[in-house]
Amino acid sequence: STAAAPETPKLDKGELKAAIVRHLHCTLGTDENKANNHAWWKATCAAIQELVLEGLRKTQKSHYFNDTRAVHYFSAEFLMGRLLSNNMHNLNLFETANDALTELGISLTDVLEEEPDMALGNGGLGRLAACFIDSLATMEMPAIGYGIHYEHGLFRQEIKNGAQIERPDSWRDYGNPWEICRPESIQEVSLYGYVETKYGDNGRIQKEWHPGSIVKGVPWDIPVVGYGGKTVNVLRLWQSQSSGYFNWDVFNAGGYVDAQVENVQAETISKVLYPNDETEAGKELRLIQQYFFCACSLKDIIRRYKRAHGDDWSRFTDQVVIQLNDTHPAIAIPELMRILVDRAELDWDKAWQICTKTFAYTNHTLLPEALEKWPARMLEKILPRHLEIIYEINHRFMAEVEKKWPGDNAIKSKLSIIEESSEKMVRMGNLSVIGSFRVNGVAEIHSMLVKKNLFPEFDQLWPEKLTNVTNGITPRRWLKACNPALSALIDKKIGDQWPLNLSQLTELAVYADNKTFQKQFMKVKQDNKVALAQTIKELTGLTVNTDAIFDIQIKRLHEYKRQHLNLLHILALYRRLLENPSYDMHPRVFIFGAKAAPGYTLAKDIIFAINKVAEKINNDPRVNTKLQVVFLPNYRVSLAEKMIPAADVSEQISTAGKEASGTGNMKLALNGAVTVGTLDGANIEIAEEVGDDNIFIFGLTVDEVAELKRKGYSPDDYYYKNAEIKAILDWLETDYFTPGKPGALASVKHSLLSGGDPYLCLADFDSYSAAQEQVDAAYRDKTRWAKMAIMNTAMMGKFTSDRSIKDYVDRVWNLTACIVEN
């Protein structure tokens, strides 16, 4: 690893204390006696930010003087969570800050709780981007994240009478201490209008886009501190603002109010994150968001390139590589072509050569409903020149396809960027593959399916292009910071270098059978469970049994992730306990965290069902010493950091072939939770690492799912042949869980029967239930369980995002580290 170990802190306790108090006085205008925790939080951030900005300045100087090649990570989402604790850890100042605040009579834990999560993402894809920029800075790679400065991140979830209510998230209320506005780097972006065809002096056809409106992009920089504090990269987020320029006419004509309306429209672009991670079909604003941040970012990149290289484009691809995080930023491909062909007046072939050496694309899903398509009519209205360019790219590509498969129109219509349906659509996935030099999936099985099922002909055309880079997570946030007790225990056993070289955790394996270490390890887990129980009490009022198995499923709510399969099994246990009060099981607390997209009715119904079943079970004295169910509201990064260290069991139960990778699975296993999972996504690679004895695998495989679907899957068969399944589903339709309101939970039942059970919950039920019985037996053998838990932590080295980034650096980006002098 090229990463540097954290060195002695840049400040001692006295100096940090003085800096915090100085900011309390001079930045916040208050004093030690008046300040509340919020003020202490801001003052502490300001004190830390001084050091961060020093690192940022040195990093930018180094990158500038070394004229480094850099990766530009384009992502519509960055799910950063809180930054203070992370920055303190990465600067090796956490202990110092804790001591400094203690001496000031302040609790660091309480201060950290003041920070709102920066929730500019939906789930896995956005959090992956956040882990990746942490690793890039840690490994001292020249890198910049580009995204959107949403005013409102993912909605705050409240649960009212069991149902999800969405409330706006306002992460910047009262000011965000980390972001720096850079008005000197404002960009302008064009939208709408028409294209004029002209003939240049050389007889060449020239295209000129006459935009209908122009908006400003204002950059806000969030420093990204690497572990060890040497490299500080930036995350640059664009905020939309009215350009004013176009409004003067209206204004002068007395249209002050109309001018304000235009301002509002311009500012709408970066107002809110789309809360769906599946589809937002045909939403004009979503396309404008995508183009807005891509256009701003490309201008920013080109401005920086020109500062060093002027109008000489020949070195552009030596300096710049752009990673497209899914197809959301795919419009950057035609935008770069437009800049090169229309503005720089390069000829098409030269421009295309540059383009296809610049972009690489990561696919994050195979779900057909999540593969982006835009109506050609909409593109024509918003980005008329880009649609022309897309047609030209496609025209030339179709000629290549004709060469490879002469006369094969079926292949042509499949590979075409344009889908010739009743409404012409532009397929952003095809555009991304054609415009990139490398395309990757995010786990071995997912990448295999991308090659075999999603893009098989592209793989034949360009056998080197499609590849795999398995996802990872940053061990700094997801072990060191979130689980200090386990981290301290690990430090004591194997030293403190594991956060930079996670494979060192294998050294713990020799202690897996050691009674003393098992006791210490499980004591940490127990303490973490007690702490989570306290949080559960505060958030829900429920007292949970901390001797029970803590069984956790945390992720977005989706049918394919099958929270309802988990629910069916809970109902089965409930029935078994009612029918046989001495039913032999170790007490278990099932804990959920999940947000549903506001328009995804069935997902919301599943949340409602979980809550109603929870209410009944938790208040039923016949079973509640053995079975409890908790739904924690407003699942988010900072809540994950409290839940993950306390998990005994990790639920990773998606239908095989549907979960591209999963990353929560890695976080839970790293913290000593044992997985109950299907052979899907990264579960397969986790199983390879921990070994079959240390994971509970169940359910149909990808091939068996395909075979069952081919034969014709009928959930009714399971319903009528399996008395337990029938009883559970029928139970859901009564008013047992919703007194006086029979049928209130019926939609869940119907989705599994008349709805066709598209994700095969019933087909996998028995296998799941059997795996859960094995979990129960294993947990009751304390020694066996302790060993399993330890082995999970010990064998997670592969899943550090440093390894993912190294893969990208070596096999996609071709970057070299830039050592920043202190």
Whether 616 is catalytic is no
Least separation in angstroms between CB 363 and ligand 26V? 9
Phi-psi region of 229 (alpha: psi -120 to 50; beta: other; left: phi over 0): left
- Give residues 445-474 in contact with ligand 26V (rule: CB under 6 A): 471
CB 364 → ligand 26V: shortest distance, Å?
Answer: 4
State which H helix or E strand residue 291 sits in. helix 284-309
Q: Which of 59, 122, 297, 416 binds ligand 26V (CB under 6 A)?
A: 122
Question: Of the two residues 430 and 661, which places its CB atom closer to ligand 26V in the complex?
Answer: 661
Between 156 and 658, name the residue whose CB sits nearer to ligand 26V: 658
Instruction: Name the residue whose CB lies closest to ligand 26V.
Output: 124
For residues 244 and 557, what is the distance between their CA atoms, to the nearest angstrom? 42
Point out which span in 50-58, 183-191, 275-283, 670-678 binds ligand 26V (CB under 6 A): 275-283
Q: Which of 79, 88, 106, 125 binds ligand 26V (CB under 6 A)?
A: 125
**Annotated catalytic residue, options 561, 626, 636, 749:** 561
Rg (alpha carbons) of the chain, rounded to whole number: 27
- Select which of 477, 529, 555, 558 is catalytic: 555
Is residue 439 within a helix (H) or strand (E), and if so which, with residue range? Answer: strand 438-441
Instruction: Say how far apart CA 367 and CA 183 lie, in whole Å.
Output: 40
Q: Does 442 engage in binding with ligand 26V (CB under 6 A)?
A: yes
Question: Would residue 304 show up in a list of annotated catalytic residues for this protein?
Answer: no
Q: Is 327 in the site for ligand 26V (CB under 6 A)?
A: no
Specify whether 396 is catalytic.
no
| From 114, 280, 444, 776, residue interacting with ligand 26V (rule: CB under 6 A) | 280
Nearest CB to ligand 26V, comparing residues 442 and 700:
442
Q: Is 370 in the site for ligand 26V (CB under 6 A)?
A: yes
Binding region for ligand 26V (CB under 6 A) out of 519-527, 660-668, 735-743, 799-807: 660-668
* Binding region for ligand 26V (CB under 6 A) out of 20-28, 388-396, 509-517, 659-667: 659-667
Nearer to ligand 26V by C-beta: 149 or 787?
Answer: 149
Please tell me which residue in 13, 364, 564, 803 is annotated as part of the active site: 364
String of contacts with ligand 26V for each residue 33-62, x by CB under 6 A: ------------------------------
* Beta carbons of 632 and 538 less than 8 angstroms apart: no
Cα 766 to Cα 88: distance, rounded to the nearest angstrom: 47
Listed in sequence order, the residues at least 6 apart from 402 whose beta carbon sits closer than 8 Å to its beta carbon are 412
Residue 566 near residue 586, CB atoms below 8 Å: no
**Cα dist. 634→167, 273, 283, 556 in Å?**
10, 16, 26, 11
Whole-angstrom distance, CA of residue 329 vs CA of residue 807: 22
Q: Identify any residues that bridge with 40 across adjacent strands, giving them in sequence order.
A: none
Among 59, 231, 365, 675, binds ligand 26V (CB under 6 A): 365
Cβ atoms within 10 Å of 103's Cβ, excluding its own = 11
* Minimum CB–partner distance for residue 46 and ligand 26V (Å): 33
Burial class (CB in 10 A: 0-12, 13-18, 19+), 173: exposed
**Maximum separation of any 2 CA atoms in the chain, in Å:** 92
Q: Would residue 555 show up in a list of annotated catalytic residues for this protein?
A: yes
Name the minimum Å distance from CB 469 to ligand 26V: 10
Q: Checking phi first, is residue 168 left (phi over 0); if not, alpha (psi -120 to 50) or beta?
A: beta
Choose which of 326, 388, 648, 685 interacts with ligand 26V (CB under 6 A).
326
Q: Which of 6, 81, 116, 123 binds ligand 26V (CB under 6 A)?
A: 123
Window contacting ligand 26V (CB under 6 A); options: 182-190, 274-282, 478-486, 521-529: 274-282
Distance in angstroms (rounded) separating the CA atoms of residues 77 and 149: 10
Nearer Cβ to ligand 26V (121/177) = 121
**HEC per residue, 624-652:** CCCEEEEECCCCCHHHHHHHHHHCCEEEE
Nearer to ligand 26V, 344 or 370 (CB): 370
Consecutive H or E run containing 770: helix 761-780
User: H or E stretch including 529?
Assistant: helix 515-540
Q: Is 561 a catalytic residue?
A: yes
Site string for ligand 26V, 675-704 (x = CB under 6 A): ------x-----------------------
Residue 124 or 153 with smaller CB distance to ligand 26V: 124
| Cα separation, 735 vs 652, whole angstroms | 30
**Taking Cα atoms as reference points, which of 392, 461, 455, 390 lies closest to residue 425?**
390
Nearer to ligand 26V, 276 or 611 (CB): 276
CB of 428 to ligand 26V, least distance (A): 10
Contact present, 793 and 671 (Cβ < 8 Å): yes
Question: Could you tell me how many residues of this chain bind ligand 26V (CB under 6 A)?
Answer: 22
667 catalytic residue (yes or no): yes
Name the active-site residue from 663, 675, 678, 800. 663
Neighbouring-strand partners of residue 374? 426
Task: List Cα–Cα distances, 662 to 467, 534, 801, in angstroms.
Answer: 18, 28, 13
Q: In this chain, which stretch among 124-132, 332-340, 687-695, 776-784 interacts with ligand 26V, using CB under 6 A?
A: 124-132
Determine, following the binding rule CB under 6 A, whether residue 128 of this chain makes contact with ligand 26V. Answer: yes
Positions marked active-site: 364, 555-556, 561, 663, 667
What is the binding site for ligand 26V (CB under 6 A)?
Answer: 122-125, 128, 274, 276-277, 279-280, 326, 364-365, 370, 442, 471, 659-663, 681
